[in-house]
Amino acid sequence: MIVTPDILKERAFQTVVKEYLTTENGYLEGTNHDYNSQYALDEKQLFSFLEETQGKALAKLKEIYKVQYKQKILFRLNTELKRRGMIEVLRKGIKDYGVQLHFAYFKPPTTLNQDLIKLYQKNRLSVTEELTHKEDERIDLVIFLNGLPVLAFELKNEFTGQDVKDAKHQWMFDRSGKDTLFRFKERVIACFALDTTEAYMTTKLNDTKTFFLPFNKGYKGGKGNPIEEGKLSTHYVWEDLLSRESLLEVLDKFVYLKLDEEEGDDGNIITKETLIFPRYHQRDAVKKVLNHAKTFGAGHSYLIQHSAGSGKTNSISWLAHRLATLHNDQNESVFDGAIVVTDRKVLDKQLQKAVYQLEHKAGMVEKIEEDSSQLADALNKGTKIIITTIQKFPYILDKLGTLNKHYAIIIDEAHSSTSGKNMAALTTSLTLEEAQRMDEEAEANELDTEDKILEDIQRIGKQANISFFAFTATPKGSTLKMFGTEDHEGKPRPFHLYSMKQAIQEGFIIDVLKNYMTYKLYYRVAKKIEDDPEFESAKATKAISRFVSLHPHNIDQKTEIIIEHFRKITSKKLNGQAKAMVVTASRLHAVRYKLAFDIYIKRKNYTDMKALVAFSGKVKDGGDEYSETEMNGFSERKLPKKFDSDEYQVLLVAEKYQTGFDQPKLHTMFVDKKLSGLKAVQTLSRLNRTYQGKEDTFILDFVNDPEDIRKAFEPYYGDTVLQGDIDPNELYSIQQELQDYMVLNEEEVDQFLSIIYKEKQTKRDIELSNNYIDSAKNRYQKLTEEEKRDFISKARKFNSIYMLVLQITPFKDVELHKLFIYLRYLLKKISLKSGTKVNLEDTVALEYYSLKKKEHGSISLGEDNEDYTVSIDVSGGKKNEDPPVDPLTKILDRLNNKNGTEFGEHEKLNIQQIVDIASGDETLRTQAQNNPYDDFILGFRKRFTDYVVEGFEKNQGFFGKILEDDMFREQIEGSIGEHVYEVLKLTDPT
C-alpha cells in the first residue's frame, strides 16, 4: 500500500492506518454506537464473539439471568477486570455462576488440534476511529480484541504542524489514567503516540509523570526510523505490530505484569507493579531468532548485542519461554528445553521472577541452587526452562553431550570477572609500584566469565544438538568469532544489534564520555577561572580551592582533590544523593586511599561524607594487615546496600565492582588506573545508568590518554567524540553573540526565573512563564533560516560549556546562570509546535546551585560563606490567582465529567446532606482525627451506604442512582470521603 505525502492531513493519516487495518489486516470497523462507555468496551463485538465461539455457555447464562444476561455478564466481566486485570482475563477468561467464558483464543504451538486453530481464527480484531469514550473527548484510534480495548493511538502528522511530541503531550495533559478506558492494567494495555516518522508508547497514564518508551526501529546505529520508499517511516506499527498474528502473539506471549517487591523505610514490603510491553528491538530480536531456529533447528549460534538499557532481562525471559515451546512446521519440538546461564545474582532473581510471571505451569521452570545432581535431575525429567550459574556451565556441556536431546543455551554474559577472588594475598609489604605491577599481571592472567565460556565450548567443540544464544553489550573479538553470524564478506557480525549509540540517543543510558576530562585539562580550566580578571569582575569564585595548584603525584594530594570536588560539585547532584567511585591501580592503592580518606575527612571535621572500600583478599602494608570487611566494618554482602544509603558517598575500588555493578546514583568517577580496550568501556560504563534527575556524569582521569579511551569506545558507539579544550571566557563571547540576535530580553529572563524558582506555581504562573518564552520564540521566528540554525547552535554550545564548567568548579555568575536556565526552556520550546506549554516540573537544572528565596525576595547563588544575590520579585501571580472553588462544586464537576451527567445545585444539596450526616457520626470523627486518610476511607466506605439510605428517605432520585450504580457509588464515595475527612480532621469535637 503506497502512501503519498499530499494526502496526509491529520485526519487522513489516521484514516490511512484504519483503512490498512480493515482492508489488509482483516480488522472489523467499530462504531461509537457500539461502544459501552460505562464499561469501556465494544458491546457488539464482545457478544458477537461469545455467540459465535461459546454458544452453549452463553445459553446457560441466558437461562440463569433471563433478559438481564448481557448486563450481568458485563458487570461480572468488569469486576474481574478490576480484580485480575486485562491480561489475565484475556488469557484465562472468567467464570460466571460456574460457567466458563473465554475472551480470546491464542495460537496453539502446533496445528495438530484443528478445533483450537478454528477458535483462534474466530478472534475479532476491530478498530474504532475517533472513539468518544466520554463527553467531548475522542481518541484517534482504539484497537479492540473481541470487544475488549487493548491499544489506543493518538496520531499526529507533521504536515499539519504537529508531531509525536504533541501526541505525547496530549496523553499527558488531556487524557486521564482515572478514566475507565485507561485505568492501569484494567483496560487499554498500551497507549501509543505516533506521527509519520516516530512512535512511542506507555503502559500507564500518570499525568505529567507518564513515561514513554520509544517504539522505533533505529536508524544508522542511532534513534529514529529508516526512510522506505513509498511508505511512511512508522508503517511497521500498523503493517506488522497490528497484524492479526503479531498482535495476538504480543498479547499472549510478551505482555505481562511485572511485580517487584521493595523494602520500605518502615521495614514493610512494598509491591510495585509495572505493565511490560515489548520495545521494538526486543520483539524484533526474539522474532528473528525464533524464525531462524524454527527453520534451521538446533546446532547454531546467535550473538545478540544489546546495550545496557535495552531491557535485556525481559528479552532473555521472553526468548527462554518461547524457545522451550518452539515447534517447526512439521509440529516437532525444536528444543527439549532452554537453559539460562547467568553470573549475576541480582539478574538471576529478576530472571526467575520474569519467567515465572510469564508461565505459571508447575514444573515448567527450575532454578539450580544446589549441586550438579539437581541439574541432572532437572535435565532427566525434562524441565522446560532451567536457570543456573556459570559455575555449572562445564557440567551442562558434558551432560548434554550424553543426552539424545536438543537444548537452547542462553548465555547472559555480564562480563563479570572473579574480581580478584583467586588473586594471591599480599602477605608481604610492597611498594605501590610493585603492588600495581603484581595486580596488573594477575588481572591480565585471570579469565573473566566470557573467557571461561569460550574455553569450555572450545574444549568440547560445537554440538549439533545445542544452540547458543549469547547476550552481551560489549563483545570481545573472540566472542564475536565464536557466536557471530558471517556477513557477505565472511566477517562475523551480531545476529541482532541494539547499539550503545541508540540506547544513549533514546535516553536509556547516559553518554559517559560527554563530560570526560583528564586532570591536565581540569587543572588548566580551573586556573583560567581563578586567574582571569574578567571572571573577577563578574563576581566569580575568587579562590576555587587549593587543589588547583597541586600536581597530584601522591595519594594524599589526589585524596584532597577528590574529596573537595565531591563536596563542592558532585554532592549537589541528584538532590544530594549522587555517588562517586574511585578506580585505583591495585589493592594496596585502595587500602592507602581508604586510610587517606578517613584521615582527611577527620582532619577537616567533615560530617557529610564517608567512604567505602572494595577489594579482595588480605593486604599487608607495613606491619598491618587489611581486609575489606575490617576496613568497612561490615560484611562484603552488605556493601551494595550500604553504598546505596545516605551514609556513604564514595566507593574506592580495586578491580572489584569495576564491572557487573549497577548503582544508578553513581555520577562521578575518579580514575587512577591505566585502562584500555574493553576494560575501559566496562569500567567507565558503571556511570551510564539513568536515575531521576540524572542528566549528566563526570569523569576525572588522572592517568589515561583521551585518545586511548576514544579508541576503546569506538567499536561499540560508532562515532565517539571526546571533549576538546575549553575556554570558560567563551561563555561571555557566546552570551554577547546571542544578545546580538535581539531574541533575548533581560526583563523577560528575570520574570521567567522568578516563576521557575517558586516552590509552587499557580495556573497564572504557568501561563506567564510560557508567555516569557513565547515572546522570545516569536522574535526567533523572524530570523532567517541560517540565523535560526546559528542561534540554536550557539545556545546549545553555551549550555554545553556552562554545564561542563560547573563540573569543574562551583563557578558563580548570576547573569550566566539565569541565561543557562532560560535557554534550556527556550530550546525546548523552539523544537516544539505552537500551543505547547513548557513543563515547569523539569527543574533538574536547578540542582547546580542552592537557590533559596530570601525574605526580601532575592535568590542566593552562593555556597559556604560566599553569597551573591540578584533581586527578583517573587510576589507576582497572587493577585491573578483563580478564586477558590467550593469543594462540593469540585465534587459535582468531577462526577459530571466522568459520567456525562449534568448534576447541579439541587444535587449539591444532596451531597451536603451526606456530608452533614457523616459529619455527625462521632465514631467517624474519632477515626478521622486519629488515622491517616488511607485508613479512614476504609471505615467511611463501610458506613457510606448507611448515610445514603438515611438521605434516600428524603430524596429518592439522586440517592437512588448511588444505590443502583456501583461505579457511580465508588466515585462519589471517594470524592465525598476526601471532603468529610478534611471536615472532621479540622473540626473540634467540643
Q: Which pLDDT does position 874 carry in this prediction?
A: 28
- Cell triple for residue 752? 521567567
pLDDT at 537 over 50: no
**Which of 566-580, 871-885, 901-915 has the lowest average pLDDT?**
871-885
Residues 231 and 2: beta-carbon distance below 8 Å: yes
Q: Cα(947)–Cα(968) distance, rounded to whole angstroms? A: 15
Q: Cα(839)–Cα(847) distance, rounded to whole angstroms? A: 17
pLDDT at 988 over 70: no
H or E stretch at 176: none
Residue of 484 and 966 predicted with greater confidence: 484
- The confidence band for 891, taking pLDDT boundaries of 50, 70 and 90, is confident
Give the tens place of pLDDT for each residue, 228-237.
Answer: 888 899 999 9
CA distance to 42, 117, 308, 830, per residue, from 46 (Å):
6, 20, 42, 46
Average pLDDT of the chain, as a whole number = 81
Q: Cα(524)–Cα(694) distance, rounded to whole angstroms? A: 27
Q: Which pLDDT does position 417 carry in this prediction?
A: 44
**Which of 11-25, 362-376, 894-908 has the lowest average pLDDT?**
894-908
Q: Which amino acid is at 985?
A: K
CA distance to 87, 103, 104, 105, 125, per residue, from 120 (Å):
17, 11, 8, 5, 12
Mean of the pLDDT values across residues 275-285? 96
Mean of the pLDDT values across residues 411-431? 58
Give the tens place of pLDDT for each residue, 772-810.
Answer: 888 888 888 888 888 888 888 888 888 878 877 777 766
Q: Which pLDDT does position 986 carry in this prediction?
A: 63
Q: Which pLDDT does position 597 carry in this prediction?
A: 95
Q: Which residue is it, cell 472489523?
A: 28
Mean of the pLDDT values across residues 71-82? 96
Q: Cα(500)–Cα(507) distance, rounded to whole angstroms? A: 11
3-state secondary structure of 386: strand
Give the tens place of pLDDT for each residue, 129-143.
Answer: 999 999 889 999 999
Q: Which pLDDT does position 540 carry in this prediction?
A: 37
DSSP lists the bridge partners of residue 141 as 129, 153
Q: Cα(776)–Cα(757) distance, rounded to whole angstroms? A: 20
Residues 107 and 114: beta-carbon distance below 8 Å: no
Q: Which residue is it, cell 466506605?
A: 941
Residue of 216 and 351 predicted with greater confidence: 216
pLDDT at 868 over 50: no
**Which of 209-213, 496-500, 503-507, 879-883 has the lowest average pLDDT?**
879-883
Beta strand pairing status for 611-614 and 650-653?
A: parallel
pLDDT at 331 over 70: yes
Residue of 574 and 923 predicted with greater confidence: 574
Query: For 904, left (φ over 0), alpha (ψ -120 to 50), or beta?
Result: beta
- The confidence band for 538, taking pLDDT boundaries of 50, 70 and 90, is very low
Mean of the pLDDT values across residues 288-296? 96
Residues 29 and 127: beta-carbon distance below 8 Å: yes
Q: Which residue is it, cell 516437532?
A: 332
Give the tens place of pLDDT for each residue, 18-42.
Answer: 999 999 999 999 999 999 999 999 9
Give the tens place of pLDDT for each residue, 613-652.
Answer: 999 889 988 888 999 999 999 998 899 899 999 999 999 9
Residue of 857 and 984 predicted with greater confidence: 984
- Of 801, 670, 811, the residue nearest 725 (C-alpha): 801
Q: Which pLDDT does position 839 carry in this prediction?
A: 57
The torsion defined by the Cα of 802, 803, 809 and 811, in degrees rounded to 10, comes to 40
CA 447 and chain centroid, separation: 33
Q: Which pLDDT does position 269 carry in this prediction?
A: 82
Q: Cα(86)–Cα(237) distance, rounded to whole angstroms? A: 22
Q: Cα(871)–Cα(92) distance, rounded to whole angstroms? A: 64
- Cell triple for residue 953? 428517605
List all residues 6 or more positions away from 340 whose beta carbon is below 8 Å from its beta carbon: 316, 320, 351, 355, 385, 386, 387, 388, 410, 412
Enter the pTM of the model: 0.74
pLDDT at 68 over 90: yes
Residues 184 and 86: beta-carbon distance below 8 Å: no
Q: Which pLDDT does position 378 carry in this prediction?
A: 85
DSSP lists the bridge partners of residue 689 as 509
Q: Which pLDDT does position 602 carry in this prediction?
A: 94
Mean of the pLDDT values across residues 386-405? 83
Residue of 313 and 540 predicted with greater confidence: 313
Give the tens place of pLDDT for each residue, 428-474.
Answer: 667 777 777 777 777 766 667 777 788 788 777 778 889 999 998 88
- Cell triple for residue 901? 451527567
